[in-house]
Structure 1
Amino acid sequence: MGSIALAEELLLLAYDDESGKATGSHIGLDLGMAAAVLVELALAGRIVYVDGTIVVTEPSPIGEPIADEVLARVAADTPHSPASWVQRLRHGLRDRVLADLCDRGVVRDVDETTMGFIHVHRYPTVDPTVEADVRARLSRALIGDELPDERTAALATLVAAVRMTPALGLTGADAAAAHQRLGQIGDRAGFTGSVSMEESSIRPAVALVVAVLVSAVQIALGTAPR
């Protein structure tokens, strides 16, 4: 597992470093983060997709608090579809991830009270090296010809699924090229159904979980391919 969780990586990409405010679709980010937690568990070999549902194959913790809580929750509950799980998990997830990042000194919580009672929270970056590492991995994936590692391929595909390409800081032709490359990564990884999973270097069980979660997110956002 990387230095931070996939859901944290997605959140850091979505939040402006200086203003500390989320950019893009809030519900898209929340759905993407919920999917990211489940992808984290798939990467760790804890869950698989079987007969339309997410199933726990190994209940032992992976050492990431939020993912471990979700793992225990999935294991204790009746089987649910990927679409059901992303909706169940998205509520309150962002606040929990932000609190953890604050505790670790990656971002800070700026509480701005207006009219004496309306609280508006911003989360400007304190330690830019964490997000810099994430962006560096994505940048290498965008300019390279080889399929990146499983984790980076999954992150790239989630970024595309929740329409977060603008968060990469690219404009014009560069942004269009990045969007195309993100799609190619998902295709070649076997996440989109255009390439056989047996032909991908991504583990089939992982590719299947990512594929169904990305589809669930896109359907929820109304952006699923027709």
Structure 2
Amino acid sequence: MSLRFAEEILLLALDDKSGKLHALPEGSLNLAIAGGLIMELAFSNVIDTDDKSLQVLSREKMGDQLLDDVLAKIPEESPLSIQRALNAVTADIDTWKSRLFDELKERGILQQEEHRFLFVLKERRYPVIDDREEQEVKLRIREVVLDHEAIPDPRDVVVICLMNACDLSSVVFSEHELEQHRARIETIAKMDFVGQALSQAVNKIQQALLEVMAYSGM
């Protein structure tokens, strides 16, 4: 069984040695995971999207309990904006992340460790046991981005879009590579409608944080 988009993004977001998530823009990883889950539904042919809206084509069980539960959270209204669908799925993001981590543990990709913090609170970490899946994701992304003649596979378009939206490009590419190929990443990311809505949502969060910081500094 291949990894879901959300699982691939989680692996990219984890520091292999510490088992902690990389420092990312506020809320961006949660939105990327939600976007990945929604795109998984699209690739399962139970939803359809255009540049503004999302339509549920079927609510029948797919045999994937996680995706069935995610689909149940998408509001039953038509037309439904992609932004509203993202918000609905993100509302339960802690549940989705916990279940995704559990499945990665069951597959022997991650292990779970509990660390004491300030002698009282516990911090959960997920060191990588087997990095083959993560390296395969990175290799796919690098091949598509660095070779400007390559035609991206639809699944790679989604992963690149999610990576770009939550600022994970530096995990896959060197600073020099990003300088040379940033435009290529942006072009590929714009191929995905959900990704466009995702990027807009992340930008809104970042803008709101900047406004709060500017107000606090007055």
Structure 1 length normalisation: TM-score? 0.78
- Secondary structure of 1:111's counterpart equals strand
Aligned with residue 145 of structure 2, among 122, 142, 147: 142
1:113 and 2:116 matched: yes
Provide, for residues 72-129 of structure 1, a one-character-per-residue CA deviation record: whole Å limited to 9, x for no partner: 332x644543223323322313222112211221111110123443001111101111
1:97 and 2:82 matched: no
Contact persistence 1:42–1:209 (CA under 8 A): no
Contact persistence 1:107–1:125 (CA under 8 A): yes
Question: 1:12, CA displacement in angstroms?
Answer: 0.5
Contact persistence 2:32–2:166 (CA under 8 A): yes
Aligned with residue 156 of structure 2, among 148, 152, 158: 152
Q: 1:86 is matched with which residue?
A: 86
The unaligned stretches of length 5 or more in structure 1 are: 192-207
Q: 1:16 is matched with which residue?
A: 15
Distance in 2 between the 1:50 and 1:176 partners?
A: 31
Provide, for residues 22-46 of structure 1, a one-character-per-residue CA deviation record: whole Å limited to 9, x for no partner: 1132521111110111011112221
- Secondary structure of 2:27's counterpart equals helix
Equivalent positions of 1:27-106 (< 5 A) are 27-49=27-49, 53-74=53-74, 77-78=76-77, 80-90=80-90, 91-92=93-94, 93-106=96-109
Distance in 1 between the 2:127 and 2:120 partners?
A: 22
Higher relative contact order (CA 8 A, sep 6+): 2
Check 1:176–1:127 CA distance in 2 against 1; reply closer, same or farther (3 A cut).
Answer: same
Identity in percent: 25
Check 1:136–1:102 CA distance in 2 against 1; reply closer, same or farther (3 A cut).
Answer: same
Give the paired residue count.
202
Q: 2:188 is matched with which residue?
A: 185
In structure 1, what residue type is equivalent to 2:150?
E
Check 1:51–1:135 CA distance in 2 against 1; reply closer, same or farther (3 A cut).
Answer: closer
The unaligned stretches of length 5 or more in structure 2 are: 209-218
Distance in 2 between the 1:63 and 1:132 partners?
A: 28
